[in-house]
Amino acid sequence: MSGNIPPEDAIFDANYPSYFRSISAVHWTPIKVIAESVKWLESKNAVHILDIGSGVGKFCLYGCVISDLLFTGVEIRKNLVEISNQVAHKLGLSQVNFLCQNITEIEFTPFNAAYFYNPFCEQEAISGQIDDSLTVGMDVLTAYETHVFQQLENAPVGFLFITYGSPHFQPPSCYAVQEILMQNELVFWKRVK
C-alpha cells in the first residue's frame, strides 16, 4: 500500500483487489471527503445521490456505511461495476445501486443530489489511466461535460451538487456555492434559481 494513503482509507480499501488499492490515492474519493460530503448532504435533507463516474464505488459504498442515504453510481466500465457490486454484497449494503452505463444515457431526475470527482479526467490525461478500455479524446470529454451541464440546468431548484478535485468544471450559473472545504478542493453547490 502507498505510504500516502490515510489509515482509514487503507482499511476501507482492503475490500478491493490489490490493483485497485494501489491506485486509490489517485482515482477514488478519500474517506474524509466522503464523510464531509455525507454530513452536508444529510444537513440539506438529501435522499438519493448520483455518483457520476463511480469507479469501484467507494463514494457510494462508504456513504452507505455511514448514513441511510440512497446512492446510485454510474460507471462505464463493466469490471468496475462488478467490483462495486461485490463489495456492496460483502458489506451487506442494500441502499446502493450501480449502473454500467455511459453518463450521457443518465437523466438526473430521479436524484436530488450528484457527486462529481473529476470523473472524465482520463479523457485528457496522457498517463495515469485506470486501464486502456476507454475511447478517449477531447470530443468525448466535451460530450460528457455538456450532458452533465445540461442535466444540472434541468434539475429543480434545490438540487445539490458536490465537486471534488474538479476546478475546471463549473455548474450552470443558477448554482451557488454553499461551502468550500479542503483547500478549495471540495465545493458544495445548490441550485438557487
Q: What is the DSSP letter of 107?
A: -
Asked whether the predicted pLDDT for residue 2 surpasses 50, the reply is no
Asked whether the predicted pLDDT for residue 124 surpasses 80, the reply is no
- Residue 1 has a pLDDT of 36
Query: What is the sign, positive or negative, of the torsion defined by CA atoms of 39, 6, 181, 175?
Result: negative
Report how far residue 95's alpha carbon sits from residue 67's, in angstroms, rounded to the nearest whole number. 10
User: For residue range 5-31, what is the model confidence (pLDDT) as tens digits?
Assistant: 889 999 999 999 999 999 899 889 999
Asked whether the predicted pLDDT for residue 135 surpasses 70, the reply is no
Decide if 147 contacts 164 (C-beta within 8 A).
no
| Cell of residue 10, nine digits | 487503507
Q: Give the least confident one: 52-56, 101-105, 136-140, 188-192.
A: 136-140
Q: Name the 3-class secondary structure at 160.
A: strand
Report how far residue 53's alpha carbon sits from residue 169's, in angstroms, rounded to the nearest whole number. 14
Report how far residue 71's alpha carbon sits from residue 114's, in angstroms, rounded to the nearest whole number. 9
User: For residue range 152-193, what is the model confidence (pLDDT) as tens digits?
Assistant: 999 999 999 999 999 989 999 999 999 999 999 999 999 999
User: For residue range 48-60, what is the model confidence (pLDDT) as tens digits?
Assistant: 999 999 999 999 9
pLDDT band of residue 121 (cuts 50, 70, 90) is low
From edge to edge, which strands make up the β-sheet containing 175-181?
96-100, 70-75, 48-52, 113-116, 160-164, 186-191, 175-181
- Residue 119 has a pLDDT of 77
What are 85-89's contacts with CB under 8 Å, separation 24+? 85/57, 87/15, 87/16, 87/56, 87/57, 87/61, 88/57, 88/61, 88/64
Asked whether the predicted pLDDT for residue 103 surpasses 80, the reply is yes
- Residue 127 has a pLDDT of 56
- Residue 79 has a pLDDT of 96
Average pLDDT of the chain? 92
